[in-house]
Amino acid sequence: MRLIIFSWEYPPRVVGKLSEYVKNLSTQLAANNVEVNVVTYDDSITGSAQEPTGVQTVRVSNPVHTHIGVLTWVLTLNQEVERAAANIYYKANKQIDLIDVYDWHFIPAAVTLKNGLGIPFAYSVESLEDHRTQAVNTPYNLAIKSIEWLGFYEAKKISVKSEWMRDEVTRIYKVPKEKIVVISTASNSWIKEILKLYNKVAGGKIVNET
């Protein structure tokens, strides 16, 4: 299996807990014979990284330096994410099984790659705009929510880390519950469940549900 992970944070760039999680996940996947590519943001200030074995990492920087907010920053960075992903896709003879995208930032790229090249994606939810900015409904927050909604709508599967988050995604975005998979990081079978999710998204070999 060959996949690309999109994450706006990845070591050495650490914003929250997501960074270390994605690194751990990629390392584990590589150990399970998955060809892992990570596309992330190069902030050019946090120094060099010790790359985990078997994981290919591409760090892209923003072609537009001046911005008026996170939204414009994210939206211009997405084309670089697309460029990096397309380079991986063509180098691999157009054989990419799926994209796993973490949070809303790179949803636009995942959606374009799905519609243009037919690569399915999983949307892995770390947090939601509704929780980050509670009871705030400016056009700015609504725009971010609309990108989250687009991700839920276009994704083949959604993964969350708790039952509570599954209920929240269902409540806020009216996503059918069957589309959401709960995978607890504390579970012993964590990586197995991730692989099961990827198989479902890629539409490859059927794994029996237990």
Partner 1 sequence: MKRDLAVMMLTWEFPPRVIGGISPHVYFLSKSLVKQGLKVYVVTCDFPDAPSHEVIDGVEVYRIDSYKNPAPDFATWVYLMNLNMQKETAALTRKIGDEIDVFHAHDWLVANAGIGLKHVFRKPLLVTMHSTEIGRRDGLHTSTEKMIHETEAWITYEAWRVICCSEYMISHVKWAFGLPSNKLVMVPNGVNTLCYNDIDSDLKDFRSKFALPEEKIVLFVGRLVYEKGIHVLVNAAPKILEKVNAKFIIVGSGYMKEQLLNIVRGMRLEHKVLFEGFLDEQTLLKLQKCADVSVVPSLFEPFGIVALEAMAAKSPVVASDTGGLSEIIEHDVTGVKVFPNNPDSLAWGITKVLLDDNYQKYLRENAYTRVQEKYDWEKIAQQTKLIYEGVLGEYSKSFWA
Min CB(160)–partner 1 separation in Å = 23
Amino acid at 198: Y
The Cβ of residue 90 has, within 10 Å, a number of other Cβ atoms equal to 11
Q: Does 61 bind partner 1 (CB under 8 A)?
A: no
Min CB(163)–partner 1 separation in Å = 30
Q: Does 153 bind partner 1 (CB under 8 A)?
A: no
Task: Give dist(CA 34, CA 44) in Å, integer.
Answer: 28
The Cβ of residue 5 has, within 10 Å, a number of other Cβ atoms equal to 24
Give the three-state DSSP class for 30.
helix
Q: Does 138 bind partner 1 (CB under 8 A)?
A: yes
Read off the DSSP letter of residue 175.
Answer: -
Q: Does 31 bind partner 1 (CB under 8 A)?
A: no
Q: Smaller CB distance to partner 1: residue 90 or 164?
A: 90
Sort 170 into a burial class: Cβ within 10 Å, 0-12 / 13-18 / 19+.
middle
Q: Does 64 bind partner 1 (CB under 8 A)?
A: yes
Q: Does 65 bind partner 1 (CB under 8 A)?
A: yes
Give the three-state DSSP class for 13.
strand
Site for partner 1 in 97-116 (CB under 8 A): 108-109, 111-113, 115-116
Task: Give dist(CA 100, CA 206) in Å, integer.
Answer: 19
Q: Smaller CB distance to partner 1: residue 71 or 92?
A: 71
Distance (Å) of CA 148 to CA 17, 33, 44: 19, 31, 27
Min CB(198)–partner 1 separation in Å = 22
Residues at the site binding partner 1, with contacts judged by CB under 8 A:
63-69, 71-72, 75-76, 78-79, 82-83, 86-87, 90, 108-109, 111-113, 115-118, 138-140, 142-143, 146-147
